[in-house]
Structure 1
Amino acid sequence: MIGLFVQADIVVQIVMIVLVLASFWSWAIIIDKILRFRRISADADEFENEFWSGGNLEDLQRRVGSSPDNPLAMLFAAAMKEWARSTEKGLGKHAHTGLQARIHQVMRVTIDREVERLEKYLGFLATVGSTATFLGLFGTVWGIMNSFQSIAATKDTSLAVVAPGIAEALFATALGLVAAIPAVVAYNKFSNDLQRMITRLEGFAGEFSAILSRQLDLSD
């Protein structure tokens, strides 16, 4: 493979370098996302077990902290912070609707922020998955053009003349596939994981909003 790279035309070499770098960066993103989604899922399970255990919400808030590194806990912390800020001076019945709207808005903003954080670099995987094959094909076409130019220059159609250029060209296509296939598979997997997390966050937000609404009704 090193020999094919060294003997290739400068344009094909640039294509190969770009594809190799894209492949390495894609795998770095893939490994990072696998570990991140696995950790987030485990932390979310642990948090939900604590949340639904029936303990005091203020105690859970103190344990979670103000900036937890988990979307579900972050959603809870943001809602509880708004709740505490709005109820510390007392609320009249007329203010309950406004508080519910603010808590809902805070949770919506938190969900959007956490989703944006989780989908970081997914666009790169999508780009590599959709363009790497065509970039490799460009290198292949360029290499084959050089092979035909060699035939024209030497006026020799033997395999020894055209084989090196064709081999270099096909190697560019192979690199394009090596970069594109994992990126496409990983992008689809992480998109599904992200969608499941969004559904989980929105479901928790709805349930927690109902709990806080009942708390407001009991405080009347």
Structure 2
Amino acid sequence: MGFEIGEALRSRGLEVTVVEIAERLLPRQTDASAAGVIRSLMERRGFEVVLGVKPVRFIQSGGEAEAIALSDGRSIAADLFIISAGVKPRVDVATASGIKTRRGIVVDDSLQTSLGGVFAAGDCTEHKGILYGIWRASEEQGRFAGLAMAGERIAYSGTVRSYRLNLLGTTLLTAGMIEPSGNMTSEVTVDEEHGIYRRIIRDGGRVVGMILLGDLSGYRELLAEIQDAGRSNGQPAG
């Protein structure tokens, strides 16, 4: 959401500075190389990008924020501040009911909570230590929870994480693994001048992850293969 708002503001001629606490942009969706291509695209469009620092407080004057102080001692003055910090499940009602919670409402493979007969699905849930926070996982969890409540319990093994983001006049699509591990291999294509980056990750010949920026050719087949690999492993890819 932060990227879309920033792009809309730039299109109106405003100066925009992006502050990212991680060492690269979109750390959950990209590897370092893809993030570098995105940063280059942003800077060409007039964005200022600040990485690896944390906003710590607003600097106020007359009761209004006029700047933000950063963890490295710098400050950035602005007329408008936008915070895009992801989602955090509200678990207070579940906790007060005696249902087990950690970062989210803890559920088993049938999406049942620690309280028998009570199920949970969507952004509030934590399954095998994972908080998804994406639409596809909410849809799949809702289906599995509904089946379980109707008496048909099918084990939910997790959702293959995938993201699609339209930004800077191009599209980013990622799914599954974004970095190879173990004996995995990857095929990489980079055309920074035209804002293109492709990384296909394979494990024993099977596609288990991809990062596609600016060139989405073959993405449907690749995504289907990643989803199949995730289901056969019994674990969410990525």
- Larger relative contact order (Cα-Cα within 8 Å, sequence gap ≥ 6): 1
TM-score normalised per structure 2: 0.24
Q: Which protein has the bigger strand share?
A: 2
Q: Which protein has the bigger helix share?
A: 1
Which of structures 1 and 2 has the bigger CA Rg?
Answer: 1
TM-score normalised per structure 1: 0.26
